[in-house]
């Protein structure tokens, strides 16, 4: 018998996510161990690509994201998506699982996110996720900060990412009331599908906004040149020195 569908009336099943999303998320999706019919809250769902994959497995997925643009795209996939700040979750024992992929590092108040996830879960529910961990893109951060300092620009406070160690994040989860079943920090170098300068513009805009627009091309070129020896391979591919933190925590029954 086919898995049940949980799409809003009058919509088509969501389109499958791009293969790259599936590839990068397959480890944490496996850790989620989703069962058909489970109700899942996907915090930081972005454009809904991975939410659609979970829904295709028979889950009743509710997406949650702070960006109105991303929410609109996710809703266009036929998914139920709510807009809001994940540091201010307002659900009470509604979900079998809370899931997050590649988003928690953007939420600096990790304690509020963890407490909100705990409250959103039914007793026995699980919180499963993966995000950038300590040391993520350390070479890139160092190159960006150095290039700013050479221009007499103070880079302190520009990077707002939350990048904990496994031990630090385990304490956050435990203080929220969770029992941590699994947590792991690991390196996961990421090969870029675009020039490094273009990727920096997308991911490190705050650094770039500190540089006058007319001087940004030279700034990006300087940063790229500094990273050639470490991050550019003989085939011309840039690889980010990325790290990941993957976890599974449970709300006791």
pLDDT in tens, 154-172: 998 888 899 999 999 999 9
Residues 64 and 88: beta-carbon distance below 8 Å: no
Q: What is the pLDDT of residues 110-155, one digit of tens each?
A: 999 999 999 999 999 999 999 999 999 999 999 999 999 999 999 9
- Across the chain, mean pLDDT equals 91
Examine the pLDDT at 177 and tell me if it is beyond 50: yes
The confidence score (pLDDT) of residue 7 equals 32
Domain spans of the chain? 1-131
- pLDDT for residue 253: 86
pLDDT of residue 15: 44
Q: Which CATH number fits domain 1-131: 3.90.1520.10, 3.40.640.10, 3.40.50.300, 3.40.50.150?
A: 3.40.50.150
169, 166, 42, 178: which is closest to 108 by C-alpha?
169
Phi, psi of 233 (to 5 degrees): -90, 180
pLDDT at 215 over 60: yes
Q: Cα-atom radius of gyration of the chain, to the nearest Å?
A: 19
List pLDDT tens digits, range 9-60: 334 444 444 443 445 789 999 999 999 999 999 999 999 999 999 999 999 9
- The predicted pLDDT at position 211 comes to 96
CB 180 within 8 A of CB 249: yes
Q: Which is more confident, 253 or 199?
A: 199
**Beta 179-187 vs 39-43: how paired, if at all?**
unpaired
- Give me the mean pLDDT over the 181-207 stretch: 94
State the pLDDT at residue 2: 32
pLDDT-based confidence at 4, cuts 50/70/90?
Answer: very low
pLDDT of residue 14: 43
pLDDT of amino acid 38: 98
């Amino acid at each position: 018998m086919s898995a049940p569908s949980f799409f809003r009336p009058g919509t088509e099943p969501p389109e499958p996510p791009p293969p790259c999303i599936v590839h990068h998320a397959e480890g944490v999706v496996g850790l989620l161990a989703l069962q058909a019919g489970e109700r899942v809250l996907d915090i930081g769902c972005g454009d809904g690509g991975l939410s659609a994959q979970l829904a295709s497995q028979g889950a009743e997925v509710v997406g949650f994201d702070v960006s109105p643009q991303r929410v609109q795209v996710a809703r266009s996939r036929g998914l139920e998506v709510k807009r809001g700040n994940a540091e201010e979750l307002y659900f009470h024992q509604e979900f079998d699982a809370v899931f997050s992929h590649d988003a928690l590092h953007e939420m600096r108040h990790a304690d509020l996110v963890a407490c909100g996830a705990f409250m959103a879960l039914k007793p026995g529910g699980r919180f499963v996720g993966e995000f950038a961990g300590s040391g993520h893109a350390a070479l890139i951060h160092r190159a960006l900060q150095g290039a700013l300092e050479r221009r007499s620009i103070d880079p302190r406070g520009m990077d707002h990412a939350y990048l904990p160690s496994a031990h630090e994040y385990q304490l956050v989860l435990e203080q929220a009331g969770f029992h941590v079943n699994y947590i792991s920090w690991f390196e996961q170098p990421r090969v870029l599908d675009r020039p490094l300068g273009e990727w920096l513009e997308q991911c490190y805009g705050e650094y770039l906004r500190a540089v006058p627009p007319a001087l940004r091309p030279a700034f990006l070129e300087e940063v790229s040149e500094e990273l050639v020896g470490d991050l550019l391979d003989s085939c011309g591919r840039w690889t980010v020195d990325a790290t990941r933190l993957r976890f599974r925590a449970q709300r006791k029954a």
